[in-house]
Chain A
Amino acid sequence: MTERIDVSIEHRHAPAADGGKPHPNTCPKCGSHYRDDELAASLYVCTQCGHHFPVHARDRIEQLTDADSFVEDAAELRSDDPLEFFDLRPYTERLAEAELSTGLGEAMVIGRAAIDDLPCQVAVMEFGFMGGSMGRVVGEKFARACEGAAERGVPLVSVTTTGGARMQEGILSLMQLPKTVCAVEDLHDSGGTLISVMAHPTTAGVLASFASLGDVLVAEPGALLSFTGPRVVQQTTREKLPEDFGLAEANFRHGHIDAIVPRPELRATLAKLLRLFANGR
């Protein structure tokens, strides 16, 4: 048996791609560097130190659901610009750029799928689309995913990775909190289930709405789950922050989540939960 030689180690501290930013395939924790196919094969987890890299929405769906089972819903929805918002650049320009760079119409992908032949509805966020922020289209997609789950009588699995509400839609983005909360309540009233998977980061408006309302709450290791991020807490309060401030591990210790599930075990965990909630049906 030949020992597999780890070549990735030689790429440690690979040269920065541009502007001093570390290469996206370089582990920010241990510096190991990977080829695209290596990362995809390891589910975007560093095989050296276990760091969880971000996962794009489409890759996440592929990782978690049965091959060819996913059928996307509401893919045609696009945000408009209700406030004609302009900061350093127009909002519409940021939207167009995000669509070009991610190939997605918005920061959430929803649809019907199956995990281990158990049918479910999925709502998966894309951090690459304006920081996974929740505006009206994300709120609408999540609400439709809840309705779809209720109609089909199947659980909804949400995977969140987001900085919170989308400032460029002003108060209308705040209204997505009660909107998604009401959608979860309707789903629960219909006897439906929400399984909330929180990936890094799940913060602010999404943590303060649907992501926290799952029947079961699971997080990926090292994910930041905080209403306010560490930088703002530090600046506002001048408090000394614990080393694991807001991380999944701290949330687990304080009783806010049910489990921390490493990515390689996530699919099996979801399948188990789907079986439990199906209750033999």
Chain B
Amino acid sequence: MAGEAELRLREQLSRLRSLPLLRGAKLSGELERLQKQLDRIVAEPSDEEIWQSVELARHPDRPYTLDYVERLLDDWFELHGDNHHGDDAALVAGLGRFRGRTVVLLGNQKGRDVKERTRRNFGMAYPEGYGKAMRAMELAERHGFPILSLVDIPGAYPGVTAEQHGQGGAIARSQAHLARLHVPVVACVIGEGGSGGAIATALADRVLMQENSIYTVISPEGCAAILWRDAGEARKAAAAFKPDAAHCLELGVIDAIVPEPAEGAHTDPDEAARLLGDALAESLEPLEGQSGEELRRQRRVRFRTIGQVPVTR
């Protein structure tokens, strides 16, 4: 596996290597990070490594959105409710200070213990969650706050009430809201990027993935149940549809991979947060200098041109 992503990284690397070392340690960290990404890309992940990503992305000790909020944002103020009739605890939104600027943060939130898991509905949002997200997006637009979106959702909740409250339409409108914004939007998949439920808050200017996260059109189990007629074939399904960060980067779906501590984010949440914070800031900075119109136009172009133009035969 090679291609554009590899070329881009090689170019970045050689540019960095030739720079006078003004920024010292930070730059060498950057070099190391790029080299690591490059190594990952050149060595195509094996089926076993892909499955390892699936397991790490779902690890019960993996840091969730609020773990990162605690470590990355000051003056966090959480917004509650969709202003219609509910507050969905599976999707959090709020205001905070991120490295010197006020941001709106959106994030899917799972629970640690049985009680919290139930309260957070295992991180699976209802339409009310997307209602809250849209309200927060409008707030960001009104005040010119950039948006950070942390994606970690097994999938939008598949239940009777969720359908009655318009799950499909909510996901569509949440994306449409993002497509209209004049403020910068940076999204990062920090665990499971599960299908429509994930893209609802990931139509962003820059999309990142943590090293051991996955981004999927359907859960490996769901895909296996449909195509193999056996949910137990999830490993085969994952190997076939390649949901790992390296493949998503190669396919041009994401812009960069955010490194994690060696054994995975759950082994050192502080270090994972530092790496995530650096990556979010690095993505956000160049966007902040652009006009709102330009941001919006480029965001739409990004998704208009994702994947290659289909071939004609």
A and B associate: yes
Task: Mark A residues whose CB is within 8 Å of B.
Answer: 76-80, 82-83, 85-88, 136-137, 140, 143, 165, 167-175, 177-179, 181-186, 203-205, 207-213, 225-228, 232-233, 236-237, 239, 241-242, 245-246, 250-251, 254-256
Known: A171-B248, A237-B158. A177 touches B196 (CB 8 A): yes
What are 13 A-B interface contacts by the 8 Å CB criterion? A82-B307, A88-B228, A171-B215, A171-B243, A174-B195, A182-B179, A185-B179, A207-B169, A227-B171, A228-B167, A237-B158, A237-B160, A239-B159
Closest Cβ–Cβ distance, residue A170 to chain B (whole Å): 4
Inter-chain contact B195/A182, CB cutoff 8 Å: no
Inter-chain contact A170/B217, CB cutoff 8 Å: yes
Tell me the bound Cα distance from A179 to B308 in angstroms: 13
Inter-chain contact B168/A171, CB cutoff 8 Å: no
Inter-chain contact A212/B173, CB cutoff 8 Å: yes
Whether a CB of chain A sits under 8 angstroms from the CB of B43 is: no
Chain A residues closer than 8 Å to B171, beta-carbon distance = 177, 208-209, 227
* Prevailing SS type, chain A contact patch: helix
Tell me the bound Cα distance from A56 to B248 in angstroms: 35
Inter-chain contact B175/A181, CB cutoff 8 Å: yes
Inter-chain contact A171/B228, CB cutoff 8 Å: no
Chain A residues closer than 8 Å to B308, beta-carbon distance = 82, 136
Chain B residues closer than 8 Å to A233, beta-carbon distance = 158-160, 163
Which chain A residue lies CB-closest to B217? A174
Inter-chain contact A175/B303, CB cutoff 8 Å: yes
Inter-chain contact B243/A170, CB cutoff 8 Å: yes
How many B residues, CB 8 Å from partner? 57
Which chain A residue lies CB-closest to B241? A170
Which chain B residue lies CB-closest to A81? B311
Inter-chain contact B303/A182, CB cutoff 8 Å: yes
Known: A83-B242, A212-B173, A233-B158. A175 touches B300 (CB 8 A): no
Known: A172-B307, A177-B172, A209-B171. 12 other contacts (CB 8 A): A77-B310, A82-B308, A167-B226, A171-B251, A177-B199, A181-B303, A205-B195, A208-B156, A208-B200, A225-B168, A227-B162, A251-B166
Inter-chain contact B163/A245, CB cutoff 8 Å: yes
Tell me the bound Cα distance from A201 to B168 in angstroms: 13
Whether a CB of chain A sits under 8 angstroms from the CB of B281 is: no
Whether a CB of chain A sits under 8 angstroms from the CB of B26 is: no
Inter-chain contact B196/A204, CB cutoff 8 Å: yes
Whether a CB of chain A sits under 8 angstroms from the CB of B223 is: yes
Tell me the bound Cα distance from A137 to B309 in angstroms: 8
Known: A85-B241, A167-B217. A181 touches B196 (CB 8 A): no
Chain B residues closer than 8 Å to A212, beta-carbon distance = 168-169, 172-173
Whether a CB of chain A sits under 8 angstroms from the CB of B218 is: yes
Chain B residues closer than 8 Å to A174, beta-carbon distance = 195-196, 198-199, 215-217
Which chain A residue lies CB-closest to B179? A185
Inter-chain contact B172/A88, CB cutoff 8 Å: no
Inter-chain contact A236/B158, CB cutoff 8 Å: yes
Of B242, B300, B310, which contacts A182 at CB under 8 A? B300
Chain A residues closer than 8 Å to B166, beta-carbon distance = 251, 254-256
Counting chain A CB atoms within 10 Å of each CB, the highest count among B223, B236, B304 belongs to B304
Whether a CB of chain A sits under 8 angstroms from the CB of B46 is: no
Inter-chain contact B163/A167, CB cutoff 8 Å: no
Inter-chain contact A213/B176, CB cutoff 8 Å: yes
Known: A171-B248, A181-B172. A143 touches B304 (CB 8 A): yes
From 59 to 97 in chain B, residues with beta carbon under 8 angstroms from any chain A beta carbon are none
Chain A residues closer than 8 Å to B223, beta-carbon distance = 167
Tell me the bound Cα distance from A254 to B170 in angstroms: 13
Of B156, B176, B253, B309, which contacts A140 at CB under 8 A? B309
Chain A residues closer than 8 Å to B241, beta-carbon distance = 83, 85, 167-168, 170-171
Chain A residues closer than 8 Å to B179, beta-carbon distance = 178, 181-182, 185
- The 3 lowest CB-CB distance pairs between A and B, nearest first, are A207-B168, A228-B158, A170-B241
Chain A residues closer than 8 Å to B243, beta-carbon distance = 170-171
Known: A86-B240, A213-B173, A213-B176. A80 touches B310 (CB 8 A): yes
Inter-chain contact B240/A85, CB cutoff 8 Å: yes
Of B163, B215, B253, B307, which contacts A226 at CB under 8 A? B163
Inter-chain contact A87/B310, CB cutoff 8 Å: no
Which chain B residue lies CB-closest to A228? B158
Closest Cβ–Cβ distance, residue A56 to chain B (whole Å): 22
Whether a CB of chain A sits under 8 angstroms from the CB of B22 is: no
Chain B residues closer than 8 Å to A242, beta-carbon distance = 160
Chain B residues closer than 8 Å to A209, beta-carbon distance = 171-172, 175
